[in-house]
Amino acid sequence: MTKSIAQKQPGSSAEDRFLWLEDRNSKEALEWVHRQNALTVGELQGDPSYRAAFETALDLMTAEDNIPVGAALAGHVYNFWQDKTNALGLWRRTTVASYKTEKPEWETIIDFDQLSAKEGVKWVFGGASRLYPDFDRCLLSMSPDGGDASEMREFDIVTKSFVADGFRAPASKSGFSWLDKDTVIVSAAFAEEDKTQSGYPRVIKLWRRGTRLEDAEPIFEGEKHHLAVGGGVEFDGDKRHVLLGKTIDFFTSHSFLRLPSGENRRVPLPDDATDTAIFKGQLVFGVRSPWTAPDGTRCLPDGLYSVDFDRWIETGTFEPIETLLKPERRVSIAGLARTQDRLFINLMDNVRGKVVVCDRTDKGWSLKPVGLPGNGNVGISHAEHFGSSVSFSFTDFLTPSSIIWSDDDGVTVKTAKSQPARFDASPYVSEQFEARSKDGTMIPYFVVRRRDQEGPVPALLYGYGGFEVPLLPGYAGIRGRLWLERGNAYVQANIRGGGEFGPAWHQAALKGKRQKAFDDFAAVAEDVVRRGITTAAQLGIQGGSNGGLLTGVSLTQRPGLFGAVIIDVPLLDMLRYTDLPPGASWIAEYGDPSKPEDAAWLASYSPYQHVAADAAYPPVLLMTSTADDRVHPGHARKMAARLQAAGHARTLFFEETEGGHGGRGDRRPQAAQTAMRYVFLQRALSTGPKSGSRFSDNPVLD
């Protein structure tokens, strides 16, 4: 039986010899990071194929003919744009009419490269809350390092300048929205007493112009153990609702309506309500588990329901409940969006998208499909809340993305923007298969490969499987150029834990049932091998964040099933994840390691504790970011250190110093990391070991 390091060094911090790597910015930890980076850069960027891969990735990330995705508001389309000249990007706008032309005339609102040069901080745009009804003022969010924590400043869009003596708050994970032109709703996470244990806002305050942030008036509070609170104004025609909410955990919350009297009245929805919207006096909602409403209506997951919200405000009567959309097998709700006069429902039907438009009259609800392309990934790109414009995105693995626009609530639609093809897709085919998991459940997955493929080829399998997040078909020019064009295959697995088939698909792998997601992923890997698409030695896997946990578990549980493993911005030490902020926010997904029962199932798969000295692991590449304030870089650091200490020298580690969890900011480091991943895969899966490299059987350790 394999003797693992976990037996010698259990998960307690007292016995964790690499605990010091959790100190994000300590001199000792960063020196270790720099040594690891130097080795990995030398190995991967030193490869003869790297430079061309980097240039290709950067060219495609910053191409001037990329689609400028935008959202319409009061006659303008707003867009954030990055290219080679504008590394940190431009926030800009154009008229709706100009946007539809081949070469829109853009008006720059903020040049973040210029601002960063002026202030000596690499500001990363994080969004803007615009002031109703003129939308000429905004609360601008900017991150100093690409992380989630952002600074807020009031900005005048007309004069293109920050407002002198306007609202301004230091970098934090707080949230800001307008109540009116002189009052901001602040979801505060500044002082420790204002934060939840996950580091998110716990208190909502009203901040009035001309007063100090410290003197803002508290109006709503959550508990320390809650995930977060948040608040904002929702408009329904000429009615304005101030909504406040307590997010208990990732999947349960309590919503409140703030009345003119100052009372915060709880909206009597179930704790796990989802997909909510206020539309023409109706509160639309879905549920994650079956719920019997006050009037006896049985509400089921994957359905949509509504209740007269205006009546509830006036009388307190939360009935009758109407069924807006009945549940259907393997059809789930991807999201809701509304214009002034229509409600749009984005659906997933067996991992393919479609959109339904809804209207509400005195006779009730009416629904009809929007005339969009089928058999691909269709999404709602934007819906103008105070107007009638709506746009949709369409793509699949072999079809470049396009934006389909409507100015009349989806009645007539026309393609407004199409991304040029980045590779010749004609030799390839996209197929959907199913694999039988360990418990008999059929797991769908997609394969993209050459239609004339004969015999197994190197393949990359990608997965996620968590937090109700679906993996949908999508075009990726970089993947086409750097992977498919080399004769390789791409596989995307729709494992349990994700949101492809609604809440039940997610809940099937929740907490103590997590092993099902790992079994699903292994079943897909075995199935592509069985079909002759690839071999175990030629199969690489990749996942990020929760997907990094997936690939970390796959490495330690089934090392012989894969030829290379990429682990991006991962969770890996599941016995200490709640001690690394904001890990406590994910207890509803994984469980609480401080509870013996939960600790038992977490310990059963936690990759960090299951590194085995005598296992035959394939080459591993771990990537993270010092600035990642969502998943702590300590996970990837410690895993790399433990693998190397156990003698697994084919372990590479790279840590970017900026960019946060999602790699926001300058595209150049993103392109470099992308190129290194493909170089790593190509070397590990297509070539034999190179003498003196970390892909050889006996490389020299640092």
pLDDT in tens, 550-566: 999 999 999 999 999 99
Active-site pick, 545, 554, 606, 625: 545
Residue 232 contacts residue 249 (beta carbons within 8 Å) = no
Q: What is the CATH number of the domain that holds 569?
A: 3.40.50.1820
**Domain membership flag for residue 388:** no
**Domain membership flag for residue 558:** yes
Q: What is the pLDDT of residue 687?
A: 53
Burial class (CB in 10 A: 0-12, 13-18, 19+), 112: buried
Residue 589 is part of which domain span? 422-685
pLDDT band at 660 (very low <50, low <70, confident <90, very high): low
**Domain membership flag for residue 428:** yes
pLDDT band at 695 (very low <50, low <70, confident <90, very high): low
Convert 175-196 to b/e letters by CB count within 10 Å (16 or more is b): bbbbbeeeebbbbbbbeeebbb
The string of pLDDT tens digits covering residues 627-637 is 888 899 999 99
- Distance between CA atoms of residues 409 and 640, nearest Å: 52
**Closest residue by Cα to residue 378 from 410, 408, 407:** 410
Query: What average pLDDT does range 412-438 have in this prediction?
Result: 97
**Domain membership flag for residue 673:** yes
Q: What is the pLDDT of residue 352?
A: 87
Kindly report the number of other CB atoms within 10 A of residue 298's CB atom: 12
Q: Rounded to the nearest 5°, which phi and psi values hold at 205?
A: -130, 155
Query: What average pLDDT does range 398-425 have in this prediction?
Result: 97
**Domain membership flag for residue 504:** yes
pLDDT band at 146 (very low <50, low <70, confident <90, very high): confident
Q: What is the pLDDT of residue 699?
A: 33
Q: What is the pLDDT of residue 659?
A: 65
Q: What is the pLDDT of residue 436?
A: 98
Average pLDDT over the chain, rounded to whole?
94
The string of pLDDT tens digits covering residues 157-192 is 999 999 999 999 999 999 999 999 999 999 999 999
Instruction: Using only the alpha carbons of the chain, give its radius of gyration.
Output: 25
The string of pLDDT tens digits covering residues 357-375 is 999 998 999 999 999 998 8
**Domain membership flag for residue 680:** yes
DSSP 26-39: -HHHHHHHHHHHHH
Share of the chain above pLDDT 70, in %: 95
Residue 306 contacts residue 286 (beta carbons within 8 Å) = no
DSSP 323-338: EEE--BTTEEEEEEEE
Assess whether the previous peptide bond of 260 is cis (omega < 30° from 0). no
Is 198 annotated as catalytic? Answer: no
Look up residue 380 and give its two tokens: 């709602």
Q: What is the pLDDT of residue 666?
A: 84
Residue 508 contacts residue 516 (beta carbons within 8 Å) = yes
Residue 243 contacts residue 255 (beta carbons within 8 Å) = yes
The string of pLDDT tens digits covering residues 247-285 is 999 999 999 999 999 999 999 999 999 999 999 999 999
Cβ neighbours of residue 368 under 8 Å, at least 6 residues apart?
356, 357
Cα-to-chain-centroid distance, residue 60: 21
Is pLDDT larger for residue 4 or for residue 55?
Answer: 55
pLDDT band at 661 (very low <50, low <70, confident <90, very high): low
**Closest residue by Cα to residue 388 from 364, 365, 407:** 407
Q: Rounded to the nearest 5°, which phi and psi values hold at 678?
A: -70, -35
Is 545 annotated as catalytic? Answer: yes
Residue 573 contacts residue 608 (beta carbons within 8 Å) = yes
pLDDT band at 652 (very low <50, low <70, confident <90, very high): very high
Query: What average pLDDT does range 303-307 have in this prediction?
Result: 98
**In the predicted structure, residue 15 carries a pLDDT above the cut 50:** yes
**Domain membership flag for residue 364:** no
**Domain membership flag for residue 124:** no
Kindly report the number of other CB atoms within 10 A of residue 364's CB atom: 12
Helix, strand or coil for residue 68?
coil
Look up residue 322 and give its two tokens: 């109407």
Give the chain's domain count.
1
**In the predicted structure, residue 9 carries a pLDDT above the cut 90:** no
Q: What crossing angle do the helices spanning 596-605 and 515-530 adopt, rounded to 10°? A: 20
CA–CA distance from 286 to each of 283, 334, 355 (Å)?
10, 11, 17
Q: What is the pLDDT of residue 432?
A: 96
Amino acid at position 6, single letter: A
Helix, strand or coil for residue 40?
helix
Q: What is the pLDDT of residue 321?
A: 97
